[in-house]
A and B are shown apart, each in its own frame.
Chain A
Amino acid sequence: MSNKCDQPNMNRRKLIGGAIAATGAMTIAPGVILHAASTTSEDSTGASSKHRWGMVIDSNKCAEGCSACVDACQSEHGLESHGRPETDAKWIRTVKLKDKATEHENRLVLMCQHCENPPCVDVCPTTASFKRADGIVLVDRHRCIGCRYCMMACPYKARSFVHETLSNQSINAPRGKGCVEACTLCVHRIDEGVMQTACQEACEKEGHAAILFGDLNDPNSEISKILKTSNSVQIRADLELNTGVRYLNL
């Protein structure tokens, strides 16, 4: 039959089948090898559920025009601005509120609330978003595939996606292009026994002391004492997430 009639050549099928199999193998093989290589054991005592790290933020003490905590966080974790506020990573931010009925104004800082039941951890398909035994919610940058579902799920808009190639990273916080990240509660400090976050340190230096970090599980800690004696609130308490960050005078 002439070629004009466009008749089948059955050998083509074998070729296509082979090509599909080869492509599949090439896609999966490097990942399998790298993945196997990365699962090495480490001697580590790890985080303990004896602690639950958290913060209390006094809205009355958060000073107008001050951004010391934000700046400190940026430099502590090597979060550079690229002059593109919409895509620049931001782990902590200032927010000014006005009551619609009474016109009373508040100022506060907002970051990952380190929920006991974090929606970001629930939705993460690969368990890259996880909560440590001591309540700190983190992202495993080796496991994050950059699907951004956690950003859709976080009720606090606390997470940022790394939109660009990174340079000059801080050793305090290894980051990854194409991965999601958020406030780590300065976990690198906690793991070294330094019980003060960068934002708290900066706020105290400015003389405002609006941020207090501490152990919510320790009844004798300053944070526990304040929370026991003062009226504090959780942001979006209706979601029953039991946040690790609480607010006074909000």
Chain B
Amino acid sequence: MSKMYYRELYCGSPVRFWAGLALLGSIVAIGLGAAFYMEHNGHWVTGMSNQIVWGLPHVFAIFLIVAASGALNVASIGSVFGGPLYKPLGRYSSLLAIGLLAGGLTVLVLDLGRPDRLIVAMTQYNFKSIFAWNVILYTGFFAIVGIYLWTMIDRTVNKYYLTAGFAAFFWRIALTTGTGSIFGFLVAREAYDAAIMAPMFVIMSFSYGLAFFIVTLIAAYIWGDREIGDFRLAKLKNLLGVFVGAVLYFTLAYHLTNLYITQHHGVERFILLDGGIYTQMFWIGQIFIGSIVPLFLIYSPAFEKSRWAIVAASIAVLIGGFFQMYVIVIGGQAYPMTLFPGKEIVESGFFDGQVASYVPTFPEAALGVAGIAVALTMVAIGARLFKVFPETLEDHT
């Protein structure tokens, strides 16, 4: 195997790089404007309410945060599990992980009622709160993955590469466990309150993170006029197939458990049968677009060598994952809490017993999309400043 050379991301012409960056920057600017509009007027201008307290921004934020830890997997396979084909991708994997987490956190923080009090969240901790733990897990992730990336780039600290790799791997598992536990530890709502949420989020992160990785890697190599070999992409593609299957398995286990428990029949009926938009998002979004289509594209012999099939499968995984997160976050809130088992709520002054309605607004969507743009901007700038991408990823290297 010949030596791997890394080089900063330079496009064929400066315009190509800067125009791309300007496009991302303008999406970020629109998102920031939307956040200012929502904060200035108050959350009543959004689709959120006292019934649906976490809306579209949370869907984007959690989706990106989950994907962030998953994006680090490629680096972990290279270092922790010693996969030589993955090792050259480790630097980019770490950079993407940092970018996605920053994007997700930007959305999460800007959707707070009081984003100006971020310092309070960083100085006042309630250690029984999984949210407080997440603040530590997120900031720690930046630090540990940053060091990990440093050990990969700087030869003088390369001796710490493996240690940093192991630390980052365990930290990322802890981080996604923490994110899943935000829902898993909620006793009040029937759609949550399940230990399976933590491992399910971990496996979801594997799938979304790798899909993000594949799409952005191919895009960056097209942008920078560099080559990627078919064999390496096939490896990534097969791994994605395994992860998509694993997410399906966890989804099945989650719903089967709920279907067995009579108390949870209501919420299952809501998600799987008569929940309207949530049922459609589950079956069409998560199961068809997010699972069946990518599995077909990945495993069908007809698309064995097709690069576009790999990209399409990854994008389908991302769309499906987004719908999955939407159903978990919003669907789980839309279904009314059971306050009085065995009783029907005839009247309520506060929408008890009713399926809550939620229609996302443009500013919420703009903020969410800006989170993706923040992630990609950081990746583009990071790849420009540091030697992150191998000069070529052709199979013979």
Contacts and interface: CB of A to CB of B under 8 A. Distances in A.
A228 interface: no
Interface string A47-75: 00000000000000000000100100000
Interface stretch (B70-78, B113-121, B248-256, B306-314): B113-121
Q: Which of A31, A147, A162 has the most CB of B within 10 A?
A: A147
Contact of B49 (A16, A86, A123, A153): A86
Interface in B354-397: 357, 381, 384-385
A180 interface: yes
Interface stretch (B6-14, B24-32, B92-100, B276-284): B6-14
Given A67-B349, A177-B42, A151 B131 contact: no
A212 B338 CA distance: 25
A contact residues, range: 35 or more
A226 interface: no
A28 B119 contact: yes
A225 interface: no
B143 to A, nearest CB: 14
Interface in B103-148: 112-121, 123-126, 128-132, 134-135
- Interface size class, chain B: 35 or more
Contacts of A106: 343
A188 interface: no
A121 B129 CA distance: 8
A13 B385 contact: yes
Contacts of A13: 385
A16 B385 contact: yes
- Which of B10, B41, B131 is the most central at the interface, judged by chain A CB atoms within 10 Å of its CB? B131
A236 B330 CA distance: 23
Contact of A146 (B112, B128, B185, B357): B112
A87 interface: yes
Given A96-B345, A97-B340, A179-B113, A127 B188 contact: no
A163 B10 contact: no
A100 B341 CA distance: 9
A123 B346 contact: no
A219 B385 CA distance: 71
Nearest to A95: B348
Contacts of B347: 94-96
Contact of B121 (A85, A110, A145): A145
B194 interface: no
B230 interface: no
B42 A163 contact: yes
Contacts of A89: 50
B53 A152 contact: yes
B219 interface: no
Interface in A1-35: 3-8, 12-13, 16, 27-28, 31-32, 35
17 contacts: A6-B13, A6-B17, A8-B8, A87-B43, A88-B50, A93-B349, A123-B130, A123-B186, A125-B126, A125-B135, A152-B54, A152-B189, A157-B337, A163-B44, A163-B49, A164-B41, A179-B113
